Chains A and B, each alone.
Chain A
Amino acid sequence: KIQDGEGPEAPSCPFHCHCEEDGIFLTVDCSEIGLSSVPSNLSPFTTYLDLSMNNISEIQPRAFHHLHLLSELRISGNQLRYISGQALQGLHNLRVLMLQNNQLERLPDDAPWDLPNLLSLRLDANLLSDVPSEAFEGVRSLRHLWLDDNSLTEIPVMALDSLPSLQAMTLALNQITHIPDYAFANLSALVVLHLHNNHIQSMGSRCFEGLQSLETLDLNYNDLQEFPVAVRTLSKLQELGFHNNNIKAIPERAFVGNPQLQTIHFYENPIQFVGKSAFQFLPKLHTLSLNGATQIQEFPDLKGTTSLEILTLTRAGLSALPLDLCEQLPRLRVLELSHNQIEDLPSFYHCSALQEIGLQHNKIRRIESSTFQQLTSLKALDLSWNVLESIHPDAFVSLHSLIKLDLSENRLSSVPVAGLGGLTHLKLRGNTFLYEAFGPDHFPHMRVIEMPYAYQCCVYASCDSYKPAGSWDTEQSNAHEDLQKRTVAVYQIHADAQYDPYLEDFQLEIEESKLQSSVQCTPTPGPFRPCDSLLG
């Protein structure tokens, strides 16, 4: 039954609030009604009370003393500066307390809040600059604590000692600069710890001691100068983030203590050096991306890291790849190795799950028949900006799923088409010795093709429509108008601007001949890029 506090103060539903009964219990929503104090006539059977988004700047003593059944109390989005211990007296069964988006400057230290069953405490988006040691002595059952978006300059080590049941905590968006040793020593149940967007520059090598249940650690957007070796004690760690820091090296055996790691995010760090054994024995790691680590000369030893699906290692100094790369990484799906110095390629034969290979901007000279053999799932292959001179006629034969192939900016004089029937995108621009024109019959599904010369595009559109030199403007005609001529000239159909049902079969005609009008071939032929090759 719903009661609305519209009439003269309904016995148990405060004025303007919205109440709902659930048996004898009551949920009371007094949010966003301009309240300046806690309503006084709250029913003792209230289990849920929402006072958020009002103008409450203070909680009168004993305001909730009779609400023994209250389970959730929301006072977020008000103007509270301080809440004394007495203000929250009587809330024996409170499980969730939301105080975020207020102006709390300090927490009680003399008589802390006595909320023995509290599980979730939100203090985020306030003005707390420190947390007294005794602040949490009355909330020992706490599991989830939000302290993010405050003005803390230190980890509240002493206060956290009172929270042995804590499982998830965020201290993000504060001004913390250092994590001392044993900062979280008593938090043996902590599973998630967010410290992102602070100013952390240094950490004690034992700062994470005691966190034996930790699975997620977020150190992103800080000022870490060195790799956080302290993570070594986190044996249950599954997700680690330290991207957007100032770390220059990842040491040997960096993650030797973290066999459960599934994801490591460390992009946007000036990483120059990576120990060869840094990423060994991480059997659950599925993504590894390293960009710009110029001091990496050798491919990392990924022994025991057998679940890797995405490997990105770009802008480093690799000159060769291990011959047994695919034996080590049988589940590889994406291999991105652009901007290195790679000259020769091993056979990727055992990487049967590969879908994308990026090898652009290397020094690869030739492709053998075995290089990409049996990669039946490969969809995209980028070999642009190499020094390719020859590709074995059978190199692409088994690439049944390939739709995108980029061979631009190489030295090819021929390209084997066997196996490329499924391509929708083919780029050959910049191969100045390649004169052959590849007709639509080779590529029935083609949508975008880039050729070295304009005349090689003529097979994709009737050259006559470009021909009468007299009617050709000096400037290439507006593409839109050009399309009108081609569409109308080819199909000779009348139509007016309004949709005309008789055109239905005409629309179908467009469907079948879509190939003719929707293949984008560049460079587009024109008066100065004629259809007949100047070289005959």
Chain B
Amino acid sequence: KSISGVSSGCQQGGCLTCSDYNGCLSCKPRFFMHLKRIGMKQIGVCMTSCPPGFYGTRSPERNTCTKCRSECDSCFDKNFCTRCRAGFYLHLGKCQESCPDSMVHNDTQRECVLS
């Protein structure tokens, strides 16, 4: 098992080049590169949508996954959440611990809804 050769370690569908120690080094066009932490290792993974808690950014050179804000379970970009973590409630893309006046918590959807 050579250190640098393209090796068996990465059969994922979206991977273009990879190595034993780093997993995917580049993805096929239009796939997102996600740097996945597994214990002390961090490997590259190529996917069509970023995992929960991350959002995708497309650019001509590379598509990457980036972590949402800590209070979001999922998000559209770093400023706009689409689902909140437990204890937070969504209103216009923001996850807050309380809702604006005239709105109440919906605990299943974790959202602020009109009262």
A and B: interacting chains? yes
**Interface, chain A (partner B; CB < 8 A):** 32, 52-53, 74, 76-77, 98, 100-101, 119-120, 122, 124-125, 143-144, 148-149, 167-168, 170, 172-173, 189, 191-192, 194, 196-197, 213, 215-216, 238-239
> Quick check: is B38 within 8 A (CB to CB) of the other chain?
no
**Residue from B13, B14, B77, B82 within 8 A of A194 (CB atoms):** B77
| Pairs of residues from A and B, 9 with the lowest C-beta to C-beta distance, nearest first | A77-B48, A76-B48, A168-B76, A125-B30, A101-B48, A192-B80, A191-B93, A168-B80, A149-B58
Q: Does A192 lie within 8 Å of B77, measured CB to CB?
A: yes
Q: Does A124 lie within 8 Å of B93, measured CB to CB?
A: no
Extra 18 A-B pairs, beta carbons < 8 Å, given A167-B93, A173-B60:
A32-B13, A53-B14, A76-B48, A77-B48, A124-B58, A125-B30, A125-B48, A149-B30, A167-B92, A168-B80, A192-B76, A192-B79, A213-B92, A215-B79, A215-B93, A216-B77, A216-B80, A238-B79
Residues of A within 8 A of B48 (CB): 52-53, 76-77, 98, 100-101, 125
What would be 18 A-B contacts, judged by CB atoms less than 8 Å apart? A53-B13, A53-B14, A76-B48, A98-B49, A120-B82, A143-B82, A149-B30, A149-B58, A168-B80, A168-B93, A173-B59, A173-B60, A191-B92, A192-B93, A196-B59, A197-B58, A213-B92, A216-B77
Q: Does B13 lie within 8 Å of A101, measured CB to CB?
A: no
**Residue from A76, A77, A148 within 8 A of B58 (CB atoms):** A148
Q: In the complex the two chains form, what is the Cα distance from A122 to B32 in whole Å?
A: 14
Q: In the complex the two chains form, what is the Cα distance from A101 to B49 in whole Å?
A: 9
Q: In the complex the two chains form, what is the Cα distance from A239 to B58 in whole Å?
A: 19
Q: In the complex the two chains form, what is the Cα distance from A149 to B31 in whole Å?
A: 11
Q: A53-B13, A76-B49, A120-B82 are in contact. Are A172 and B58 (CB under 8 A)?
A: yes
Q: Does A197 lie within 8 Å of B60, measured CB to CB?
A: yes
- Type the 1/0 row for B54-83, where 1 means its CB is closer than 8 Å to any CB of A: 000011100000000000000011011010
The B interface is mostly helix, strand or loop, or mixed, namely loop
User: Quick one: which of B22-55 are within 8 Å of A by CB?
Assistant: 30-31, 48-49
Count of inter-chain pairs, beta carbons less than 8 A: 67
Q: Does B49 lie within 8 Å of A216, measured CB to CB?
A: no
Residues of A within 8 A of B93 (CB): 167-168, 191-192, 215
Residues of B within 8 A of A239 (CB): 79
Q: In the complex the two chains form, what is the Cα distance from A191 to B93 in whole Å?
A: 8
Q: Which residue of B lies closest to A173 (CB)?
A: B58
Q: Does B13 lie within 8 Å of A77, measured CB to CB?
A: yes
Interface centre among B58, B59, B92 (most CB of A within 10 A): B58
**Residue from A53, A167, A196 within 8 A of B80 (CB atoms):** A167
Q: How far is the CB of B98 from chain A (nearest CB, A)?
A: 19
Q: Which residue of A lies closest to B81 (CB)?
A: A168
Q: In the complex the two chains form, what is the Cα distance from A74 to B51 in whole Å?
A: 13
Residues of B within 8 A of A213 (CB): 92
